[in-house]
Amino acid sequence: MADSLELAFALNNAAPEQIWDVIVVGGGPAGATAALYLARADLKTLVIDRGLTAGALGLTGRIANYPGVPEEISGAELLYRMRQQAERFGATFLQDKVQSVDLESDPKLVFANTGTYSARVAVIATGSMGRSQRVKGEDELLGRGVSYCATCDGAFFRGQEVAVAGNTDEAIEEALFLTRFASRVHFLCPTPQLKAPEHLVHELTAQPNVKLYLGATLREILGTDQVTGVRVNLRSEGEIVLPVSGVFVYLQGGRPITDFLGGQLPLSETGCLQVDAEFRTALPGVYAVGDVLCNHIKQAVVAAAEGASAAMSIEKVLRRRKQIAVDWSK
Amino acid sequence: MSLLDDRTRQEVQKALTAMTEPVKLVLFTQGEFGSLECEYCRETRQLAEEVAALSDKLTLEVRYFSKDIEAAQALGVDKIPAIAVLRDGKAPHDFGVRLFGIPSGYEFGTFVQSILLVSHAKHDLSPHTLEQLAQLKQPVHIQVFVTPTCPYCPRAVLLAFRLAVASPLVRADMVEAIEFPHLSSRYQVHGVPRTVINEVIHIEGAVPEGLLMEELMQVNDEAQMQRLRELHRST
């Protein structure tokens, strides 16, 4: 509590003062490129994104075939460059998680953790790293030790042992928050390495009350009325049970991320968004690009091209042009 | 030292210009000098004073919990710090909007929004929700447990407040879970937001209006409520 008092009394959920021209949900190659083109067309553009390594490109270790980038770089580095380029043209990037949207209202409303944002046009570029299935026990014990928000619930686990499952910067940041309360944080990384910036990995491993398990798959959350432990499969040692009273889950999967849309847009049988040739969805002023569409090759350059195409289509509509303009300097 | 920085003060002042009717904050406090009985009473009072000073349509009445027993009972205040947000002016009205615990962090925005909501009484609920509320047969007490660091919580609290504004049968409380550990224990709060309706209906997370109403309307089904009470007793 004392810490939160020092955090200031921010008007986080106050009514939005600014109406953006475009809000892009998701800052991967599709979203970042859309923002680059939109901002260059002098449209006020906000990108809301969960973090550099929250999506497929940010998690990719090495990229060697992105046109114009001959050196081998990490996906996160490539994405960082795209964002910097977009920012140079005036796009704003906000690290936040979108909880829900109202796409039928005018302006469109985007509800994120830090506030409500409104825009004339919304672009959905959330990618396809949503979870496909829950861990056994997860749904039954939600709110009884299972949580998706360490900052919300960390204080309930003061002096107790907890587990964090995930491998991204989001998971690490949440685990670091938990170290202030929990006696021990068991960090269950499903991959052989953490997929996060080096400084965050160092900060995590330097914590005396964090135990890092690499290649650890969360199999089951144990307990009846309360979480009492987790069953974990370790690549090196096989199955173990850790006695914890809280489990914080930040795992990813391979499904298009559309849950925050609340059924406002039709989905294909495989859960993907559907668009026309100009990346328009069924709702006016709502576009979708990138892996959330599933109907294209999962390559950064293809997603980027879709972002650019959608941006030009949006510019045409907002500027009431009859045709797409390919060079806004004229 | 001021709790609100200049920028926040300016933002709140600007937000409060949207008030249409006057609002009175009735704050219940005691033992403001670090006593164990109320860890954040002093800060809550200071916060309420600073906010009340930002609009001439806003007044603050400070009551002492152990002395003003009748006033506390009349407003349903059973723990402190507490703020009852009441419509004032020519047509004073108590919509049943309460904040228990200091509205800090993310809940500060909720506090300001609750003032605006009580002032203009625009609940913006769907016609279907209003139809459901009109069918309520008995009082509904919604308690939304929160922590100041929970970004999802304000949505859950404000939805409860909007329901309170829309229906004379609904009362809605924000309850800061860490400040009231006995309640967190009683209602098994291990994650927030957790909404408790009439003691026995429990909802995890900031759910949409339709889903909350689906759960809430169980209060009309006495047999179902009895089942939930028995279930609650056995756990």
Cα nearest neighbour of A12 on chain B: B109
Predicted pLDDT at A326: 67
pLDDT for the residue A1: 43
- B12 Cβ under 8 Å from any chain A Cβ: yes
Residue of A35, A36, A32 lying closest to A51 (CA atoms): A32
Q: Which residues of chain B from 102 to 121 reach within 8 Å of chain A, CB to CB? A: 102, 104-106, 108-110, 112-113
Domains of chain B: 1-121 (3.40.30.10), 123-235 (3.40.30.10)
Give pLDDT tens digits for B218-228: 999 999 999 99
pLDDT, position A14: 37
Residue A100 touches partner B, C-beta closer than 8 Å: yes
For residue A144, give the nearest of B155, B179, B190 by CB distance: B190
CA dihedral sign, ordered B193, B196, B197, B202: positive
Residue B99: strand pairing partners:
B83, B174
Q: For the segment A238-258, what is each residue's pLDDT rounded down to a tens digit?
A: 999 999 999 999 998 888 999
For residues A300-307, average pLDDT: 95
Higher pLDDT, B47 or A320: B47
Contact A115, A242 (CB under 8 A): no
CB-closest option in A4, A5, A9 to B8:
A9
Closest CA to A300 of A122, A34, A65, A35: A65
| Across A106-110, A304-308, B196-200, least confident range | A106-110
Does the ipTM surpass 0.85? no
Instruction: Note the pLDDT of residue A12.
Output: 46
| Mean pLDDT, residues A128-147 taken together | 89
The count of C-alpha atoms lying within 13 angstroms of the C-alpha of B82, restricted to the half-sphere facing its C-beta, is 23
- Per DSSP bridges, beta strands B93-100 and B58-64 are unpaired
Q: Does residue B123 sit in helix, strand or coil?
A: coil
- Domains annotated for chain A, with CATH where assigned, are 2-130+255-318 (3.50.50.60), 146-250 (3.50.50.60)
